[in-house]
Amino acid sequence: MTLAGLSLVLFTMGATGARGQVIYSTHFTGTFTLPFEAQWGAMTLPSGDYTLQYGTQDNGHGLVVVRGTAKGSPYGMILAGPVGDVSATRNAIVCVRKGNALLVRALEMPAIGESVAFRMPRGVRLMANRRNGRTNTRPAEASTLIQLVPVRLNEK
């Protein structure tokens, strides 16, 4: 029974051929210098120079490809949240502080009129103390340290 099921899956994968491939359309490419270590999804990025590409897959989901320029630097693909209206005036990566760590939360791209958000790493919740010392609250209700990292748009 298991062998029959596996054979069916392999046959289906082979039959889809090129249709099973993901098509990726690039909308934005740029470079940035990260002056600190940051967590971007499951990836930890050390300080340094990076390139990024933002685009959409054929299924409409956003995807950011990040690549360090130094030898041995990290490389990764991060799924982007829903496209929103851009509120920034310059292209930038938006980071928030969680203890001693900085987490990438959004990519603002006014050059193309879009902004995308990223999920927090598993198990991380942003909380801040209220000024009156009572309980913790969500970041929208408290001041949170936000760090902007400018992204230089690559010209074609």
Domain assignment present for residue 87? The answer is: yes
Give residues with Cβ within 8 angstroms of 121, minimum separation 6.
39, 41, 42, 103
Q: What pLDDT does 21 receive?
A: 53
Strands (E), the chain: 24-34, 38-40, 43-45, 48-57, 62-68, 75-80, 92-98, 101-109, 114-117, 128-129, 136-137, 146-150, 152-153
Q: What number is the average pLDDT over the span 63-75? A: 92
Q: What pLDDT does 47 receive?
A: 92
Residue 81's pLDDT band, with cuts at 50, 70 and 90, is confident
pLDDT exceeding 70 applies to what percent of the chain?
68
Q: What pLDDT does 156 receive?
A: 56
Number of structural domains in the chain: 1
- Using only the alpha carbons of the chain, give its radius of gyration: 19
Domain assignment present for residue 59? The answer is: yes
Domain assignment present for residue 145? The answer is: yes
Whether residue 102 has pLDDT greater than 60: yes
Q: What number is the average pLDDT over the span 56-70? A: 88
Domain assignment present for residue 9? The answer is: no
Do 113 and 54 touch, CB atoms closer than 8 A? no
SS3 assignment, position 124: coil
Mean pLDDT, the chain, integer:
75
Q: What pLDDT does 146 receive?
A: 83
Domain assignment present for residue 10? The answer is: no
Where in the sequence is the domain holding 64, given as residue range(s)? 22-153
Whether residue 121 has pLDDT greater than 70: no
Do 35 and 99 touch, CB atoms closer than 8 A? no
Which stretch of DSSP H or E encloses residue 9? helix 2-16
Do 68 and 50 touch, CB atoms closer than 8 A? yes
Q: What pLDDT does 88 receive?
A: 76
Among 142, 76, 75, 85, which Cα is nearest to 117's? 85
Amino acid at 68: G
Domain assignment present for residue 120? The answer is: yes
Domain assignment present for residue 36? The answer is: yes
SS3 assignment, position 32: strand
Domain assignment present for residue 129? The answer is: yes
